[in-house]
Chains A and B, each alone.
Chain A
Amino acid sequence: MKIKLNILFILLLSTTGFSQYSGYFGKKNYAGLNIRGFYPLFYGSNTVQDPKSETYDPVKYKKGINTAISISAGHAFNNRLSLSLELGAQSGEVIQSHSTTYNYKTIDPTTKEESYKGISDTRATPFQTRTLQFMPTLEWSGDGGMAPVGLINKFGFGICRTKVIAKEDYQVYANENDINGQSYNSILIGKGEQTIDSDISYKSALVFYELGMRIPINDKLVYHFGVRYLFGFMTSLPEINIDQREGYVPSLFNREIGNMITSNFIQANFGLNFVF
């Protein structure tokens, strides 16, 4: 990874010598900070149920907009074409939200009475995730462009690493059901830090397109706004050692991570850049 980064940076710098374009007030390089906000339209993970609820409560939305922050640096080769590198960090949550029904029979040791029980509607406290994104981007300015300012079309391809952070107070609740399948109780069926392997990582790739505008505030500072469409896809899944009796299904957990990556696909982007 480090070698790859170095190669890309050298490539970027080496091309600067050939440019005859005057740039924006003679400046062709830029660096900045951007904040992205996105609303996951199709991701169910944000529909987090209150895990401590004793009865099966209707779905509640816990969170709306997620955010990501990134820094970027780039260079304009001519009045229309620029190349930049973006390093982003995004936080998110994943939970395993599905209905598991697990029925079992118990026999009272004294009375020898048989009873049938089951658990359903497994609910878990969300896991925090941290995603790091590394994206080289190509920027193409509109008609009569004056890169790196003005109307721009950004195309990016990047690699991401999503880390799921283990929690000590992780808890999983489920409903206890009677023999007729009627829920009558909410019980804690699992807790503690070892429910999953700590800090598991997922790798993914993404592509994005952004239409943005960089408007100068003065000859050095530029503010940026845009709309980004981002498409991610998993490239590797980790081994997860999860006890199935606790109600975890590894493939479902992986699916939640995948959903989180792919469903936040419309993003609003705001930033401040320094041109030099």
Chain B
Amino acid sequence: MNFKSIWLLSLFTTILGIEAFSQVSFDDYRPLVSSGKIPQDFYVKTADKIEEDLQNKESDLSQSEYKDFLREIHYGVDQLLQSGVVVYGDEVSLYVEAVGKRLLKAAKVKENIRFYTIKSNVSNALSTDQGIIFVTTGLIAQLVNEAQLALILAHEISHFTKHHVVETFEYKNSRNLRNQIVQLATYSKDKEFEADVLGLELYQKAGYSKDEVRGTFDVLMYSYLPFDEINFPKTYFSSDLCFIPETLFPTEKYDIKAEEDYDDSKSSHPNIQRRKETIMTKADEISNWDKNVYFEGEEQFKYIRNICRFENVRNDLLYANYGRAMYSIFLLEREHPKSIFLSRMKAQAWLGISGFKNAGEIYSAIDAKSDLEGASATLHYFLRELNTKEMIVLAMRQIEDIRKVYPDDREIDLIWNRMVKTFYQTEGLNFEDFKDQNFETYKKEFEQKLNAMNSSTESTKKEEEPKEELSKYDRIKRKKSDEPTSKDDFIDSNKYYLYNLSDLINNELFTTRLSEVKSIEEKRKEEEEKIDEMSSKEYKKYMENKEEVKINLNNFVLVEPIAVSYGRKGVKIEKSEALQEKYSEAALYASQELGVNAINVDKSDFKTIGTDGYNQKALYTGLLIQLNNSIESQNFPVDYSLLYDFQQKNKTSKVVFTIVEHRYKVRLGGAFATLFLFPPALPVVLLNSIMNGNNTEVSLIVMDIEKGEIEDGASYYFKEPTNTYLLSGRFYSMIYDLMKH
């Protein structure tokens, strides 16, 4: 081999190497997005998919029953695919596909099976009759090794090869079992056992180790807990500038309550104990087991699992599970202390939980008392114990500490600004009451003055974990005997928090920002009081004379509308899709007439604009999910960094979400009565009934990504048909009103 060949080979290998082991940086982690060519699953219309499958009917169901079946599964799957939580072509999906392909080869499956990842903390995997296998990031975050993933995938592949989904539908229909939960559950459990057994055979054929089978059920049993079980230290939030009394932490331990042998009579899945027994019996019958735990490499598995764990944090923030997000951040920080992503997420979590606390909704953001179990219970208990002022001050402290480490980070700066506003808006919290000395200094002075204090020396070391590498499940099984209890032996100061912002008293940045917020809020209150005293005529004139344009919507992103058309039996899929297309067209037309630029992000364009469009839509849909879960507190967009990239690209920070719902129901009772009581009135009563049968509602909200807030919204309810121009006229009016020309 000559020099040139060697050079070319090494170059080629290097390039391949970069491709194969492209590693995301966890210090500057970017959330998972889709990559590569967009699969057809994501842009073909549901109605077209149903039509295609109808041509290839392979079931014993009648044509209309089969159509009902296809409607159910395609609609359900497409809802999931368009929900913004599914990714394709990403590192996790590619890894799962690599593991899955080995199993498919062993199963001799020829169909085109697609593997997609669901960004969700629910530990689950599912397969569909269309040949799609989904795996959640929550599941992978919990796994110990590749073999466990392989066993779960093998189970799902078995469901697919045995057509369990359509068989269950056939069973349900043939016995009219729509309301017979127990019978259907029994049938489903039989199918689960079958998939377990067949999956095990597939797993063995693929060359994986028998030793990993039992451990997989531990994952399933404890998957509702965080992905690791590390004691949360009481000193975690404490620092020179921040004192936290130990009385806020629990003195009791919260045991893990999970049981293997729960009542599964109404569940579609058998309980863990039964599954374990069945599968281990089968495993013992199989001989010639290989010993492989990894084919794709242990490092690769841990890398992928880490991605999923980082996604866990993001998902918890999306659903406003701030307590869980904070615990996950604590777990990940141990290995990645310099991760700016984790710092941003922590700042967001504190901002979010402050908003919920102020809105009186804190119990939605942390685990319920009855759910406290395991190591994370300490944190949830603590968050529960804090009163409003304590929490807001602690949040301000945490975010300020993060800002000090990353003073130039745009996202952290925005969060910090929002937190200052939250601080100002908290009732009863006056910055003038805060002290310019920290609590330790104050305490020393107090001790000196009274000379009667017993203070226990606080250990500033965080509790150390055993050096050996244990999985979460090993730790749960170990009993810890040395759980310390502690008491506060010095004064019980309810106002300790007044000492926790001592560095901000003379901080120019903070005091300036606080003054700005104060000035804006006072002006706003003044205007509100002025408006309250106006008559409706005066108010109208006042609004007409208001010079400034309400919202600048000259350029905005228009996300694909959510459209639902209801019939007598529920959602009508074909009509909903048609309504969605109609409304999308209507909105674009109205924008054109208004002379504004609407950048359309719509499934119908995905074939041409590709993955970039899909990622945008997914991001904005995620934003909507987050809004929905935190309406009271209007939290910061969790994917801010990605959204900011699109903001720069689209040259606008405004995103418009729209929803349209339509229902047609004619009430002819009045017409019948008129026929007998006063026939001449029949034509108008009948026309009235027919026209008023239409019930349409269109709504719109405008979000500003830059500010991370909902700016405004509009809604129309009307009794007219969904004519394209009527819809377009409404959209025109809504945008016009918001812009206040």
The contact sample of 13 A-B pairs, CB cut-off 8 A, is A22-B741, A25-B728, A26-B732, A79-B733, A143-B717, A145-B718, A150-B718, A150-B720, A151-B691, A211-B691, A215-B723, A216-B726, A265-B680
Residues of B in contact, count (CB < 8 Å): 30
Residue in B540, B688, B719, B725 whose beta carbon sits within 8 Å of that of A144 in the complex = B719
Within 8 A of B (CB), among A144-177: 144-146, 149-151
Q: Is A250 an interface residue (CB 8 A)?
A: no
B717 x A216 contact (CB < 8 A):
no
Residues of A in contact, count (CB < 8 Å): 30
A149 x B688 contact (CB < 8 A):
no
**In angstroms, how far is the closest chain B Cβ from the Cβ of A265?**
8
Within 8 A of B (CB), among A69-118: 79
Measured in the bound complex, the distance between the Cα atoms of B719 and A151 in whole Å is: 8
Most central of A143, A144, A217, A268 by chain B CB within 10 Å: A144
What B residues does A213 contact at CB under 8 A? 691, 720
Q: Is B721 an interface residue (CB 8 A)?
A: yes
Q: Is B386 an interface residue (CB 8 A)?
A: no
**In angstroms, how far is the closest chain A Cβ from the Cβ of B411?**
37
Measured in the bound complex, the distance between the Cα atoms of B589 and A209 in whole Å is: 35
A149 x B729 contact (CB < 8 A):
yes
| Binary per-residue interface labels of chain B (688-718) against chain A in the complex, 1 for a CB within 8 Å, 0 otherwise | 1001100000000000000000000000111
Q: Nearest 7 CB-CB pairs, A to B?
A: A144-B718, A216-B725, A22-B736, A227-B683, A227-B684, A144-B717, A24-B729
**In angstroms, how far is the closest chain A Cβ from the Cβ of B736?**
4
**19 extra A-B contacts, CB within 8 A, seeds A25-B593, A144-B716, A211-B691:** A22-B741, A41-B680, A143-B717, A145-B718, A146-B716, A146-B718, A146-B730, A146-B733, A149-B726, A151-B692, A209-B684, A211-B687, A211-B688, A213-B720, A216-B725, A219-B725, A219-B729, A229-B684, A268-B683
Question: Taking beta carbons and an 8 Å cutoff, which residues of A are in contact with B?
Answer: 20, 22-26, 41, 79, 142-146, 149-151, 209, 211, 213, 215-219, 226-227, 229, 265-266, 268
Assess A20 versus B544: contact at CB under 8 Å? Given A25-B593, A144-B717: yes
B686's nearest neighbour on chain A, judged by CB, is: A227
B740's nearest neighbour on chain A, judged by CB, is: A20
Within 8 A of A (CB), among B368-386: none
What B residues does A150 contact at CB under 8 A? 718, 720, 726
Residue in B719, B728, B737 whose beta carbon sits within 8 Å of that of A143 in the complex = B719
Most central of A145, A146, A149 by chain B CB within 10 Å: A146
What B residues does A24 contact at CB under 8 A? 729, 732
B723's nearest neighbour on chain A, judged by CB, is: A215
Measured in the bound complex, the distance between the Cα atoms of B590 and A218 in whole Å is: 11
A218's nearest neighbour on chain B, judged by CB, is: B725
Within 8 A of A (CB), among B579-605: 589-590, 593-594
What A residues does B544 contact at CB under 8 A? 20
A42's nearest neighbour on chain B, judged by CB, is: B680
**In angstroms, how far is the closest chain B Cβ from the Cβ of A267?**
9
Measured in the bound complex, the distance between the Cα atoms of B728 and A149 in whole Å is: 12
Residue in B680, B723, B730 whose beta carbon sits within 8 Å of that of A266 in the complex = B680
What A residues does B684 contact at CB under 8 A? 209, 211, 227, 229
Most central of A41, A142, A218, A268 by chain B CB within 10 Å: A142
